[in-house]
Amino acid sequence: MNMWSDLQDSLVAIDPGIEPGTWEAKFLFNPSLSLFRGHFPGSPLLPGVMQVEMAHLAMERIAGLHYRIIGVNKAKFTGQIFPGDQITIRLAAKDQEDYLQVKAQLSVERRKVGSVIMNLQAS
């Protein structure tokens, strides 16, 4: 398996949010995935790049479009995500002139573990 297919397999649900233009996605990564073996041996954690890519993939699934990341304005990792944790991402998207700005808040069991603000462009 590769990182992208592992990511797709780990997306378990997408639901509309309470506010228009918001959604909630849930991810659950199998502890046996190879991405945990190298990050970090003996003390595995979900890499930060996967947190950015989770928001990217969720928006692609929500919109039914392929996007490329044209900028990450902010990525803040404030907590650890361990193998087997269920990650909830609250997403909000706002159309800009030629891109989509996405804000994502990541949590595990209601504990905030990260946030991402990025710009996506349909490809």
- Structural domain total, the chain: 1
Q: How far apart are CA 117 and CA 84, in angstroms?
A: 25
Report pLDDT for 1.
Answer: 58
| Catalytic residue, candidates 3, 11, 39, 75 | 39
Low-confidence ranges of the chain (pLDDT < 50): none
Report pLDDT for 33.
Answer: 87
Please answer whether residues 47 and 115 qualify as being in contact, where contact means their C-beta atoms are separated by less than 8 angstroms. no
Report pLDDT for 3.
Answer: 81
CATH label of the domain that carries residue 74: 3.10.129.10
Strand pairing report for 111-122 and 86-95: unpaired
Q: Which helix (H) or strand (E) holds 53?
A: helix 48-63
Does residue 39 carry a catalytic annotation?
Answer: yes
Structural domain harbouring 11: 3-122
Over residues 57-79, the pLDDT tens digits come to 999 999 999 999 999 999 999 99
- Distances in Å between the alpha carbon of 66 and those of 39, 60, 69, 94? 28, 6, 10, 16
Report pLDDT for 76.
Answer: 97
Q: For 81, how many CA atoms within 13 A lie in the half-sphere containing its CB? A: 30
